[in-house]
Chains A and B, each alone.
Chain A
Amino acid sequence: MSWSLNEIEALARKAARGGGMNWGLAEETGKATRWLCAAGWPGAETLAALLLAQDSVTWDAVRPRTDADPWAARDGLLCPSAAGAALTDRARDLADGRTIIMAATARPLLLVPYTAWAADLAGRPLSIRWPGVTVTCGGDGVFADIADPAALTATRTETLEIGPAEHATGQPLPRAHRGDLPAGAVETLTAFAHRTYAPGTPESRASGAGAGLTDND
Chain B
Amino acid sequence: MAEAETPTIALRAPDTVMKLARLGAFHQTRLSFMRQLLRRMKAEQWRFEERVFDIDTNGVGHAVYVAHTPRHSYSLVAFSHDLPADQRSDRVIATAWDATFTLFDGIPDEADIARLAKNVPRQEGGRVSERELSLSRANRSVRLWDYVVDRLAAGKQPDARKIAEVGYLMRTTAVYGSGKFGAADRDALADRPEFRAPFQVEMLSVYLTRAFVMDLVEHMARVRAPGQALALDPVLRRRFGIGNSTGLGMAPFLITHPALLNNWVASREEALRRVRALPEAPRATVSAFRQTAARARIHAHGWRSEHPGQQAKLEDLRADMLALTEHLDTADMTAPYPWDRLWRWGEATLSLEGQEQLVSLLLEPHGDLVDDLCETMSADEEDNWRIDGAMPLADLRVIIEDVYGWALAIDWSAKPAQARIWYTSEEKLEPRMGERFEEPLAPYEQPLCPGRDAALMHAALAASDAPTVAEFLLKHPEHRHIARRAQIAAQLPYAEIRDNTIDASMMPIDMLRMKLSFFGACHFDPRSDRWVRINMYQNAPFPEDLARNAADDWTLPRLPEVGE
Chain A contact residues, CB within 8 Å of chain B: 1-7, 22-25, 27, 31, 59, 63-64, 66, 82, 85-86, 88-92, 117, 120-121, 177-178, 194, 196-201, 203-205, 207-213, 215-217
CB distance from B534 to the nearest CB of A (A): 14
For B470, what are the chain A residues with a Cβ–Cβ distance below 8 Å? 86, 89-90
Do A212 and B187 form a contact, CB below 8 Å, given A4-B130, A204-B439?
no
B474 touches A63 (CB 8 A): yes
For B386, what are the chain A residues with a Cβ–Cβ distance below 8 Å? 88, 117, 120-121
* Complex: A26 Cα to B248 Cα, angstroms: 23
* Complex: A215 Cα to B88 Cα, angstroms: 8
B141 within 8 A of partner (CB): yes
Q: How many residues of B contact A (CB 8 A)?
A: 68
For B479, what are the chain A residues with a Cβ–Cβ distance below 8 Å? 24
CB distance from A209 to the nearest CB of B (A): 5
B187 touches A5 (CB 8 A): yes
* Complex: A1 Cα to B184 Cα, angstroms: 14
A4 touches B184 (CB 8 A): yes
Please pick, from B85, B185, B430, B441, the residue contacting A209 in the complex, using a CB distance under 8 A.
B430
Please pick, from B185, B245, B390, B433, the residue contacting A5 in the complex, using a CB distance under 8 A.
B185
A5 touches B424 (CB 8 A): no
* Complex: A121 Cα to B483 Cα, angstroms: 17
For A121, what are the chain B residues with a Cβ–Cβ distance below 8 Å? 386
Please pick, from A4, A5, A64, A200, the residue contacting B425 in the complex, using a CB distance under 8 A.
A200
Q: Which of A82, A177, A205, A215 has the largest number of chain B CB atoms within 10 A?
A: A215
B477 touches A24 (CB 8 A): yes
A213 touches B306 (CB 8 A): yes
CB distance from A63 to the nearest CB of B (A): 7
Contacts A6-B186, A204-B425 known; 4 new A-B pairs at CB < 8 A: A23-B480, A85-B473, A86-B474, A209-B91
A89 touches B469 (CB 8 A): yes
Name A92's closest neighbour in chain B (CB-CB): B390
B239 within 8 A of partner (CB): no
Please pick, from A91, A215, A217, the residue contacting B389 in the complex, using a CB distance under 8 A.
A91
Name A176's closest neighbour in chain B (CB-CB): B188
For B184, what are the chain A residues with a Cβ–Cβ distance below 8 Å? 4, 177
B385 touches A27 (CB 8 A): yes
A24 touches B434 (CB 8 A): no
Do A24 and B481 form a contact, CB below 8 Å, given A203-B439, A208-B433?
yes
A210 touches B182 (CB 8 A): no
* Complex: A121 Cα to B487 Cα, angstroms: 15
A216 touches B480 (CB 8 A): no
CB distance from B244 to the nearest CB of A (A): 12
B389 touches A2 (CB 8 A): no
- 20 A-B contact pairs sorted by A residue (CB < 8 Å): A2-B182, A4-B130, A4-B183, A24-B479, A24-B481, A24-B483, A85-B387, A88-B386, A89-B474, A90-B390, A92-B389, A120-B386, A177-B188, A207-B434, A208-B432, A210-B433, A211-B528, A215-B89, A216-B88, A216-B142
For A207, what are the chain B residues with a Cβ–Cβ distance below 8 Å? 434
A27 touches B481 (CB 8 A): yes
B427 touches A200 (CB 8 A): yes
B408 within 8 A of partner (CB): no
A3 touches B426 (CB 8 A): no
For A197, what are the chain B residues with a Cβ–Cβ distance below 8 Å? 423-426, 429, 444
B439 touches A210 (CB 8 A): no
**A-B residue pairs, 10 tightest by C-beta:** A24-B480, A212-B528, A89-B389, A6-B179, A4-B179, A210-B530, A208-B432, A89-B470, A197-B426, A24-B481
CB distance from A1 to the nearest CB of B (A): 8
B143 within 8 A of partner (CB): yes
B531 within 8 A of partner (CB): yes
Name A214's closest neighbour in chain B (CB-CB): B527
B500 within 8 A of partner (CB): no
CB distance from A162 to the nearest CB of B (A): 15
For A89, what are the chain B residues with a Cβ–Cβ distance below 8 Å? 387, 389, 469-470, 473-474
Do A6 and B180 form a contact, CB below 8 Å, given A27-B481, A217-B141, A217-B143?
yes
For A177, what are the chain B residues with a Cβ–Cβ distance below 8 Å? 130, 184-185, 187-188
Please pick, from A22, A88, A216, the residue contacting B387 in the complex, using a CB distance under 8 A.
A88
List B residues 38-67 near A (Cβ within 8 Å): none
* Complex: A85 Cα to B479 Cα, angstroms: 13
CB distance from A98 to the nearest CB of B (A): 12
B182 touches A3 (CB 8 A): yes
* Complex: A6 Cα to B484 Cα, angstroms: 20
Name A120's closest neighbour in chain B (CB-CB): B386
For A6, what are the chain B residues with a Cβ–Cβ distance below 8 Å? 178-180, 185-186
Residue-wise, chain B 464-502 has the 8 Å CB interface mask toward A (1 for contact) of 000001110110011111111000000000000000000
* Complex: A84 Cα to B256 Cα, angstroms: 22
Name B184's closest neighbour in chain A (CB-CB): A4
* Complex: A146 Cα to B531 Cα, angstroms: 53
CB distance from A126 to the nearest CB of B (A): 14
CB distance from B468 to the nearest CB of A (A): 8
Do A2 and B129 form a contact, CB below 8 Å, given A208-B433, A212-B528, A217-B143?
yes
For A31, what are the chain B residues with a Cβ–Cβ distance below 8 Å? 385
CB distance from A212 to the nearest CB of B (A): 2
Name B483's closest neighbour in chain A (CB-CB): A24
B14 within 8 A of partner (CB): no
A5 touches B179 (CB 8 A): yes
A215 touches B142 (CB 8 A): no
Please pick, from B85, B91, B385, B478, the residue contacting A22 in the complex, using a CB distance under 8 A.
B478
* Complex: A24 Cα to B476 Cα, angstroms: 11
Name A59's closest neighbour in chain B (CB-CB): B477
CB distance from A170 to the nearest CB of B (A): 25
B427 touches A7 (CB 8 A): no
For A27, what are the chain B residues with a Cβ–Cβ distance below 8 Å? 385, 481, 484
B424 touches A198 (CB 8 A): yes
A216 touches B247 (CB 8 A): no
